[in-house]
A and B are shown apart, each in its own frame.
Chain A
Amino acid sequence: MDRQTLDRLTRLSQLQLSPEEERLVLEDLGHIVALIDEMQAIDTEGVEPLAHPLDMDQPLRHDAVTEAVDRARFLAVAPLTRDGLYLVPKVVE
């Protein structure tokens, strides 16, 4: 785990670390990677990955409109809205 990797991870996850935080997190992540590397000792040759503990199929929902949207209730919890829209700084494509 080096600064360059951490920099890439913070950008991918849209985080930002103060210089002090970065120093600590870099050290912690090094230890965490060492911890998770302990599982490399397990022989998993030929073992199917287990994505989910439930041995069930995905249930399928009947195609019906069941949600009446009360926009005001959702907009009320948003930090910045106008004319029914959520606002973000200008996006340039």
Chain B
Amino acid sequence: MQPFASIADLGRGLARGDYSARELATFHLERIAAADDDLNAFIHVTQERALRAADAADRRIARGEGGPLTGIPLAHKDIFCTEGVATTCASRMLADFVPPYDATVVARLAAAGTVCLGKTNMDEFAMGSSSETSWFGPARNPWDRDRAPGGSSGGSAAAVGAGLVPCATGTDTGGSIRQPAAFCGVTGLKPTYGRVSRYGMIAFASSLDQGGAFGLSVEDVETVLGAMEGHDPLDSTSAERAPTRRNGARSMRIGLPSEYWTGLAGDMGECLLAAAKELEAAGHALVSHSLPHTDAAVPAYYVIAGAEASANLSRYDGVRFGFRAEDPADLDDLYRRSRAAGFGTEVKRRILTGTYTLSVGYYDAYYLKAQRVRRRIQQDFLEAFEEVDAIAAPVAPGPAFELGAVDDPVAMYRQDVFTTPASLAGLPAMSMPCGFVGGLPVGLQLIGPAFEEGRLLALGHEFQRRTDWHRRHPEG
């Protein structure tokens, strides 16, 4: 058995009986055991449940009822509620929380026969771009343990990048799938807002949060998405759409928005431009254009995400679940001390920012203004997609940074400059490996019109047939 095999190959191996799902799970559990003390990609490894699920998958395969994901190991970001398995959101607040229900995504992937090996590390409540704000300590980058795997879904990206699992779920609010995918050298897709159910996915910013997938290739991501997506009556913001299918014209117009491409550091710029040229070589046309309100995306995003988060996190009050302070003097004391001790500093900063932008006297200047800017940014994209079929862009200003290197919150927020615009517009966006800078992977971002994931998958698949960046893996 080899790590880094594709889902299709693993499925064939299972079908042929080269190995059982139990053996496949055990193989990956052993890899986790060997690597994760160092990597800290997992908050919980659920070995026993995994083996039970693998046995069930083996029986299913034996009956000839297996699907493309039956018996395939995977990991869930610890933001997805798993019935009977602790779901912490990497917060002390939920360190002991065991949900009595499954997220829709978890239930669907379980129904497809996947074997969940554990829950992955992340930034606390998905608030961060480095997975350093986790209550359980930072996850590390498999390419360089002194560097961040990105965030917030850093554990999932690191686990896939290190070959600990073939695929993993993640969530993306302002770049939380795409940026860690880029930092860890894997493929990550943030679907269109509404494509994947948010039910049971612990909310950070409800109008931005979207579940998605990490894999070693576009093909694998497509397979996982196929089992996650679709309308869910438990989520009012879940769209009824035909399933995603890879589809794209042989020759597409690919936009390179000037706001994203100017000012990139030399090596980054060359690496990304070479990737764009590869698409051109494949028969697509590169078109320079403008998304003029790009610079306002980070400010608008931090207003909107903060506002929504400030309300979403009010439910953590020490009463019905989660951390509760000892011996409260009165109700306010219970609330304040439970929340003060249960939340980390970054979460508090966001709650305070959101409370500020929604409060009397500031609502119009900040919250409403951000919504207007959001409209502008959406219009930028709508106009661009009149001219181009997809947009190619960098994911992050640079490759993975060192742990602790970005210690100023505003500098960290600015890391999201290339990912927040598509989030605000609710558009599908994907990151895939496209080269290396200083031995660290670089990701190319593809952004498409709403519900046109199929176009991104087609472009990405074509790119990965012509290149082998996605087949490069870290040593050890």
Picked from A9, A56, A88, A91, the residue with its CB within 8 Å of the CB of B356 is: A9
Contacts of B413 in A (CB 8 A): 32, 35
| Interface membership of A63, Cβ < 8 A | no
B371→A50 contact, CB < 8 A? yes
Contact B368–A79 (Cβ < 8 Å): no
Name B348's contact: one of A25, A47, A56, A70 (CB within 8 Å): A25
How many chain B residues sit at the interface, stated as a range, is 35 or more
Of all chain B residues, the one with the shortest Cβ separation from A87 is B319
Structural contact, A53 and B378, CB atoms closer than 8 A: yes
Closest to A57 in B: B236
**In contact, A44 and B330 (Cβ under 8 angstroms):** no
- A12 CB within 8 Å of chain B: yes
B47-67 toward A: CB 8 Å interface, digit per residue (1/0)? 000000000000000000000
Give A47 to B57 CA distance when docked, in angstroms: 53
Rounded to whole angstroms, the CA-CA distance of A33 and B376 in the bound complex is 21
Contact of A44 among B207, B303, B376 (CB under 8 A): B376
CB proximity to B under 8 Å, residues A40-93: 40-42, 44, 47-54, 56, 58-59, 61, 70, 73-74, 76-80, 86, 88-91
Do B340 and A39 touch (CB < 8 A)? Answer: no
**Contact at B302–A36, with CB atoms within 8 Å?**
yes
Q: How far is A10 from B318 in the complex, measured between Cα atoms in Å? A: 17
Q: Which residue of B lies closest to A81 (CB)?
A: B320
Chain A residues, CB < 8 A from B374: 49-50, 53
Interface residues of B in 256-281 (CB under 8 A from A): none
A17 to B239, CA, bound (A): 41
Interface string of B212-238 (1 = CB under 8 A from A): 000000000000000000000100110
Do the beta carbons of A54 and B337 come within 8 Å of each other? no
| Contact between chains at B369 and A44 (CB < 8 Å) | yes
Knowing A33-B356, A49-B371, A52-B207 are in contact, say whether A15-B296 is a contact too (CB < 8 A). Answer: no
Q: Is the CB of B299 within 8 A of A37?
A: yes
Residues of A within 8 A of B300 (CB): 36, 39
Mark contacts of B355-379 with chain A using CB atoms, 8 A cut-off: 1 yes-contact digit, 0 otherwise.
1110100000110111111111010
Taking a contact as CB atoms under 8 Å apart, the answer to whether B340 and A15 are in contact is yes
Contact assessment for A49 and B372 in the assembled complex, using a CB-CB cutoff below 8 Å: yes
Does A14 contact B335, Cβ atoms closer than 8 Å? yes
Given the interface pairs A36-B357, A39-B300, A89-B331, the reply to whether A79 lies near B319 with Cβ below 8 Å is: yes
State in angstroms the CA–CA spacing of A73 and B98 once bound together. 10
Q: Among A29, A39, A51, find the residue whose CB has the most chain B CB atoms closer than 10 A.
A: A39
Interface residues on A, range: 35 or more
Cα A6 to Cα B320 with chains together (Å): 28
Q: Is A13 among interface residues, defined by CB-CB distance under 8 A?
A: yes
- For B355, list chain A residues within 8 Å (CB): 9, 12-13
* B343 close to A (CB within 8 Å): yes
* A6 to B371 CA separation, bound complex (whole angstroms): 24
- Bound CA–CA A28/B302 (angstroms): 13
Establish whether residues A15 and B375, one from each chain, have CB atoms under 8 Å apart when the complex forms. no
B330 partner residues in chain A, CB cutoff 8 A: 89-90
Contact A77–B207 (Cβ < 8 Å): no
Docked complex Cα distance between A25 and B329 (Å): 26
**Please, which residues of chain B bring their CB within 8 A of the CB of A5?**
356
Q: Is B73 an interface residue (CB 8 A)?
A: no
Selected from B339, B410, B424, B426, the residue in CB contact (under 8 A) with A35 is B410
B78 shortest CB reach to chain A, Å: 16
Nearest CB in chain B: distance from A3 CB, A: 13
CA distance in complex: A73, B331 (Å): 25
CB–CB A59/B331 < 8 A: no
B298 touches A35 (CB 8 A): yes
Contacts of A48 in B (CB 8 A): 372, 375
For A50, the chain B residues whose CB sits under 8 A away are 371-372, 374-375, 378
Flag if A15 contacts B339 (CB, 8 Å): yes
A39 touches B373 (CB 8 A): yes
Q: Judge whether B401 is part of the interface by a CB distance below 8 angstroms.
A: no
Subset of 23 A-B contacts with CB under 8 Å: A9-B356, A12-B359, A13-B352, A15-B343, A15-B348, A21-B348, A28-B409, A28-B410, A31-B410, A35-B413, A35-B414, A36-B303, A39-B303, A42-B293, A42-B296, A47-B376, A53-B194, A54-B239, A61-B233, A77-B98, A77-B100, A89-B333, A89-B334
Instruction: Please provide the 5 A-B residue pairs with the shortest distance between their CB atoms, ordered closest to farther.
Output: A53-B426, A49-B371, A44-B372, A79-B324, A16-B340
